[in-house]
């Protein structure tokens, strides 16, 4: 068995430019080149040519009642609860969608934590998303811990399954530690799958996400098995990004190997995505590809990466209100400076690697740029075309 996690040099993922996940980003080849060129010429240029992001991660609320031990967001609860709501204002949400659609940012994920479905007017936010889906052809995805599905109106569940491209239920640390929560999670997932099976006009892909930690190897493997049996259409397994709770190299190898045996079954192959390693940059790492996405917190704060919580000062480039636009901040010198000064040691938990998919995209693009494009570019264009033509969920990064 090949030990791909043993030491820093070997611990990186193989550069897999042929993998489906990486192909997705090739359709943005020209935009990525514009980002790279702008950053390379920062000291010579007065105006920059950073394209608007392809994907927006919106955090509707910081509220979440689960209190997982490993929650990165819990500081927001104590920081703001005394004075402010933890929810995004509905008119601010509408303005953001209006602005993003006018700038061509057509893919939006309701993201957490907190927990999007704990927004006090989540039904209204979902109706608004559905309106922008109908009128502006925007695409939406929903990330949730899955515990609140049973509290939603049936009509809201239907709107999600009808208008959203995907719904992904992340299996929380609390659900893994609490039998009742675990049952609720599985039951809610089964309920969604049941709805969809009964009604073929419901299109959302129903998925699940599990995080491998230093303590949950056995339960994770058991849960993967249960979820596959339940009929999830997408199942992602990643390792946690936390120095205190990281799985050991031995656990990574064992889990990778056991999940590899699940994947040998034809029906599981396209459902189960295992992405446990970190993308390693042997000569150090500066993330420059982050402008492919933008992150917006419940107060309208605009951040350069969804992993902003441990470095808000250096990651925020501006703030939405009900009248302004992303264009007031995006691609301006403050934005460029924040990208150039990104502290990967803090944000990605290492200065030579990250387990985020954008690091993977960056490594692939660097290799393509480095190798020269004369023949390779032809291949890229073909791959790019197939990515564009592929099913809707692939529009999301
Ligand atoms: S479910 Fe997510 S947001 Fe909620 S407490 Fe757990 S980690 Fe935090
Ligand atoms: S590689 Fe690191 S800095 Fe870049 S987008 Fe991912 S988490 Fe953020």
Does the pLDDT at position 20 exceed 60?
A: no
C-alpha distances (whole Å) from 84 to each of 66, 78, 94, 316 are: 20, 11, 20, 20
Does the pLDDT at position 384 exceed 60?
A: no
| Mean pLDDT estimate for the chain | 85
pLDDT of residue 282: 86
The model's pTM: 0.88
Tokens at 382, concatenated: 């073909």
Distance 297 CA to ligand 1 centre (A): 15
Cα 111-341-351 angle, rounded to 5 deg: 80
Pick the closest to residue 66 from 142, 166, 169 (CA basis).
169
CA dist 208 and 191 (Å) reads: 14
SS3 85: coil
Residue 34 host element (H or E): helix 29-40
CA dist 344 and 342 (Å) reads: 6
Point out the ligand 2 atom lying closest to the alpha carbon of residue 357: 6
**Which among 63, 73, 177 is the best mutation to test ligand 1's pocket, defined by most ligand atoms within 8 Å of the CB?**
73
- Taking residue 89's Cβ as centre, other Cβ atoms within 10 Å add up to 15
Distance 364 CA to ligand 2 centre (A): 15
Write the DSSP symbol of residue 19.
S
Instruction: State the ligand closest to the CA atom of 115.
Output: 1
Q: How confident is the model at residue 9 (pLDDT cuts 50, 70, 90)?
A: very low
Peptide bond into 345 cis (omega under 30): no
Instruction: State the ligand closest to the CA atom of 63.
Output: 1
Class of domain 52-277: alpha beta
pLDDT of residue 395: 43
Pick the closest to residue 294 from 325, 272, 273 (CA basis).
325
Instruction: State the ligand closest to the CA atom of 397.
Output: 2
Q: How confident is the model at residue 2 (pLDDT cuts 50, 70, 90)?
A: very low
**Which among 275, 285, 359, 397 is the best mutation to test ligand 2's pocket, defined by most ligand atoms within 8 Å of the CB?**
359
Tokens at 1, concatenated: 């068995």
Residue 100 host element (H or E): helix 90-102
pLDDT of residue 379: 54
Tens digit of each residue's pLDDT (9 = 90 or more) over 348-383: 888 898 988 899 999 989 988 887 754 344 455 555
- Taking residue 158's Cβ as centre, other Cβ atoms within 10 Å add up to 15
């Amino acid at each position: 068995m090949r030990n791909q996690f043993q030491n820093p040099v070997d611990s990186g993922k193989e550069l897999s430019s042929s993998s489906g996940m990486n192909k997705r980003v090739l359709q943005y080849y020209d935009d990525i080149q514009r980002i790279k060129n702008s950053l390379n010429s920062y000291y010579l240029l007065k105006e920059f040519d950073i394209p608007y992001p392809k994907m927006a991660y919106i955090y509707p609320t910081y509220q979440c009642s689960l209190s997982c031990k490993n929650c990165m967001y819990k500081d927001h609860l104590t920081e703001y609860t005394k004075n402010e709501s933890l929810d995004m204002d509905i008119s601010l949400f509408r303005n953001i969608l209006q602005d993003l659609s006018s700038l061509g940012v057509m893919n939006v994920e309701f993201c957490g934590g907190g927990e999007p479905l704990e927004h006090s007017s989540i039904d209204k936010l979902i109706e608004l998303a559905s309106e922008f889906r109908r009128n502006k052809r925007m695409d939406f995805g929903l990330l949730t811990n899955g515990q609140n599905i049973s509290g939603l109106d049936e009509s809201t569940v239907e709107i999600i399954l009808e208008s959203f491209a995907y719904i992904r239920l992340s299996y929380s640390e609390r659900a893994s530690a609490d039998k009742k929560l675990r049952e609720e999670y599985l039951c809610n997932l089964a309920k969604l799958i049941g709805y969809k099976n009964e009604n073929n006009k419901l299109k959302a892909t129903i998925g699940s996400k599990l995080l491998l930690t230093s303590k949950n190897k056995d339960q994770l493997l058991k849960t993967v098995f249960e979820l596959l049996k339940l009929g999830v259409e997408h199942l992602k397994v990643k390792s946690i990004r936390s120095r205190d709770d990281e799985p050991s190299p031995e656990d990574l190898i064992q889990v990778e190997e056991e999940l590899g045996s699940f994947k040998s079954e034809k029906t599981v192959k396209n459902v189960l995505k295992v992405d446990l390693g970190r993308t390693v940059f042997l000569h150090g790492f500066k993330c420059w590809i982050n402008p492919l996405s933008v992150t917006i917190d419940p107060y309208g704060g605009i951040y350069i990466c969804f992993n902003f919580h441990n470095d808000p000062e250096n990651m925020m480039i501006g703030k939405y209100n009900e009248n302004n636009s992303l264009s007031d901040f995006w691609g301006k010198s403050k934005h460029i400076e924040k990208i150039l000064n990104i502290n990967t040691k803090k944000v990605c938990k290492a200065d030579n690697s990250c387990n985020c998919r954008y690091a993977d995209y960056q490594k692939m693009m660097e290799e393509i740029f480095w190798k020269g494009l004369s023949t390779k570019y032809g291949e890229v264009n073909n791959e790019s075309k197939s990515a564009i033509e592929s099913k809707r969920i692939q529009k999301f990064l």
